Structure 1
Amino acid sequence: MDAFIGSWKLVKSDHFTEYLSALGVSEEEISVAQSLKPTLTFHQDGESIVIKSVNIIFTSEVWFKLGEEFSEETRDHRKCKNVITLDEGKLVQVQTWDGKQTTIVREIMDDNMFMTLTFGDIASTSPIRRYK
């Protein structure tokens, strides 16, 4: 988990529009999401891990303990159950709602984070650089 601790800046997202469309996100929300380049900060607070996302429109935080289910309402208003695990150095988040499931995998390679969001046969990838 230590490799993730710190701040990260989204560089770009490939196939993000297709991913959001598959989730059922509105065109207006997709347009806004495409313009955002959030900074993500990972830190530990006691036993909890916190992922803070900051952009020009909003700030959000997700608090979780590895392997324990938690609830979240996403920016596109899905009420989800999540479980995040650390598997071979990758943070694997499984998010479920209304009988659907998406997976978010974050991994560190050469001091960069790579995030892959998968829903069905649609995958979006994003390189994220360490931010000072």
Structure 2
Amino acid sequence: MVEQFVGTWTLVSSDNFDEYMKAVGMSFASRQMGNLAKPNLVIIVGADGVITIKAESTFKTTSIKFKLDEEFDETTVDGRNVKSIFTLENGKLVQKQTWDGKTTTLDREVQDRKLVARCAMDDVVAVRTYEKAA
């Protein structure tokens, strides 16, 4: 059920994120901003089944809208044009991005009242943990 993801989540820890950003090909300047940003994730599910994930930070706010199991075009925060698809697998919200023959996977799961996002590119894995805002 996607409902467990709904709400506002605040980043509380980030492990190996710089290495992950390097692995997907982000520039030094983009990585510097990515390392400094402490985004809030706002996740909403509309009555029409459209899911919105908004990442809000002091640097930039981005938003994507999608339906589960439907591929869509996404421009990432660092300007990559990717094909994205979200699926629900074993309670995880799994996002797969493909571009230029590359693939990265972002698994989001709620554990112990925290949202744990696991970002994987080849053998590089970053883990970002969010706590639900009151």
Query: What is the TM-score when the length of structure 1 is the normalising length?
Result: 0.97
For residues 88 and 82 of structure 2, what CA distance do their matches in structure 1 show? 20
Contact 2:33–2:59 (Cα < 8 Å) also in 1: no
Q: Which amino acid aligns with 1:21?
A: K
SS in 1 for 2:33: helix
CA offset at residue 110 of structure 1?
Answer: 1.2
* Residue 42 of structure 2: aligned partner: 41
For residues 73 and 94 of structure 2, what CA distance do their matches in structure 1 show? 16
What does 1:1-132 align with in structure 2 at a 5 Å threshold? 1-45=2-46, 46-132=48-134
For residues 15 and 47 of structure 1, what CA distance do their matches in structure 2 show? 33
CA offset at residue 47 of structure 1?
Answer: 1.8
Contact 2:3–2:45 (Cα < 8 Å) also in 1: no
Contact 1:12–1:37 (Cα < 8 Å) also in 2: no
Aligned Cα RMSD in Å? 0.7
- Tell me the matched-pair count: 132
CA offset at residue 86 of structure 1?
Answer: 0.6
In structure 1, list runs of 5 or more residues that go unmatched: none
Q: Which amino acid aligns with 2:24?
A: L
CA offset at residue 29 of structure 1?
Answer: 1.1
For residues 131 and 112 of structure 2, what CA distance do their matches in structure 1 show? 10
Moved over 3 A (4+): none
In structure 2, list runs of 5 or more residues that go unmatched: none
For residues 40 and 49 of structure 1, what CA distance do their matches in structure 2 show? 13
Contact 2:16–2:127 (Cα < 8 Å) also in 1: yes
CA offset at residue 23 of structure 1?
Answer: 1.2
For residues 75 and 44 of structure 2, what CA distance do their matches in structure 1 show? 21
CA offset at residue 9 of structure 1?
Answer: 0.5
Q: Which amino acid aligns with 2:77?
A: R
Query: What is the TM-score when the length of structure 2 is the normalising length?
Result: 0.96
For residues 55 and 31 of structure 2, what CA distance do their matches in structure 1 show? 17
